[in-house]
């Protein structure tokens, strides 16, 4: 398989959850050795992903306040570079990120592969969220901003998706991307046990330079980068830990202590292995 970013040759690195993780021998991008289809994407991001725990969420709707606050922080960051305008939220889920941007003065629209989540955003929040994926998205509208917060590692056809995003971005418009950093200290310390190696829901593991090279292929240049301030609900953190530590003796002991934390407590995530970047269309 060739690299989805630079198309150079790749090799197998290690196996995780039954899937090979490959690494590019030229740009070092890492990706899962599988070719998912639209049907696979719909299955991976079905209701189980949003309420079944494991690599997903134990109760996504219960994290509304945290997620909305997260997007409000991004709205404030973006105010340094642009005025609020029109935006497309990719992977909008129930609309909490879109809602946070709306609070900051943006006019938004969302796309989300999970029908139930998209319907929740429409019915309960009054947000224009349509069911679908970025790979198949077509519109005559053009947007000042495309937001892809915790989305790009999940794209099942990377270049098709970004081509679709480029087509609906206005001249001089922006992409805001938040993703995991495979070159982070945390990723290097944990190696193949890094929590973000979770195929088939996570398909790509980027570095800041790799993502910069990818977006440049679509005519975008990086103008800002940073680490997000991120909080998660304790129930979500506990669910992820239980999934990752499943089967280990010491993991069972650790979970006895972790389970003492109240589920509804908001806890800070040590976001050293996360980054956000803002790209502008040239």
| Three-state secondary structure readout of 10-34 | EEEEEEECCEEEEEECCCCCEEECC
How many folded domains does the chain comprise? 1
Question: Does 134 fall in a domain?
Answer: yes
* Within a domain: 186: yes
- Are the CB atoms for 277 and 224 separated by under 8 Å? yes
pLDDT per residue over 80-119, tens digit each?
999 999 999 999 999 999 999 999 999 999 999 999 999 9
**Domain assignment present for 264:** no
Q: How do residues 249-280 score in pLDDT, each as one tens digit? A: 655 565 566 666 666 766 667 678 999 999 99
- For the entire predicted model, the pTM comes to 0.87
**Domain presence at residue 22:** no
The predicted pLDDT at position 261 comes to 64
Q: What percent of the residues of the chain are helix, what percent strand, and what percent coil, each to the nearest 5? A: 40, 30, 35
Which structural domain range is residue 132 located in?
37-228+273-281
> Whole-angstrom Cα distance, residue 157 to residue 196?
19
CATH number of the domain that residue 45 is part of: 3.40.50.150
Residue 132 lies in a domain: yes
Q: What is the distance of C-alpha 170 from the center of its chain?
A: 22
Q: Evaluate the omega torsion of the peptide bond into residue 200 and state whether it is cis, within 30 degrees of 0.
A: yes
Q: What is the bridge-based pairing of β-strands 10-16 and 19-24?
A: antiparallel
Which of 74, 68, 28, 83 lies closest to 224, judged by CA?
Answer: 74
Residue 174: which residues within 8 A CB-CB, separation 6 or more? 78, 81, 82, 144, 145, 146, 278, 279, 280, 281
């Amino acid at each position: 398989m060739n690299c989805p970013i630079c198309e150079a040759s790749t090799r197998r690195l290690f196996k995780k959850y039954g899937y090979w993780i490959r690494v590019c021998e030229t740009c070092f991008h890492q990706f899962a050795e599988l070719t998912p289809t639209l049907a696979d994407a719909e299955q991976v991001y079905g209701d189980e992903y949003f309420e079944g725990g494991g690599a997903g969420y134990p109760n996504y709707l219960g994290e509304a306040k945290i997620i909305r606050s997260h997007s409000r922080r991004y709205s404030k960051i973006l105010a340094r570079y642009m005025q609020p305008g029109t935006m497309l939220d990719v992977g909008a889920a129930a609309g909490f990120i879109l809602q946070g941007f709306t609070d900051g003065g943006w006019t938004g629209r969302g796309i989300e592969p999970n029908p139930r989540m998209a319907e929740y955003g429409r019915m309960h929040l009054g947000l224009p969220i349509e069911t679908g994926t970025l790979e198949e998205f077509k519109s005559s509208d053009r947007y000042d901003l495309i937001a892809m917060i915790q989305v790009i590692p999940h794209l099942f056809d990377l270049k098709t998706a970004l081509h679709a995003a480029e087509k609906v971005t206005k001249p001089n418009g922006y992409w805001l991307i938040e993703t995991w950093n495979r070159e982070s200290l945390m990723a290097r310390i944990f190696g193949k046990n890094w929590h973000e190696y979770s195929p088939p829901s996570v398909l790509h593991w980027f570095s800041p330079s790799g993502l910069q090279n990818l977006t440049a292929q679509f005519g975008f240049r990086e103008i800002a980068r940073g680490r997000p301030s991120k909080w998660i609900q304790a129930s979500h953190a506990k669910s992820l830990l239980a999934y990752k530590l499943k089967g280990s003796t010491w993991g069972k002991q650790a979970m006895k202590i972790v389970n003492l934390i109240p589920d509804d407590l908001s806890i800070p995530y040590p976001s050293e292995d996360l980054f956000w970047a803002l790209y502008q269309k040239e």
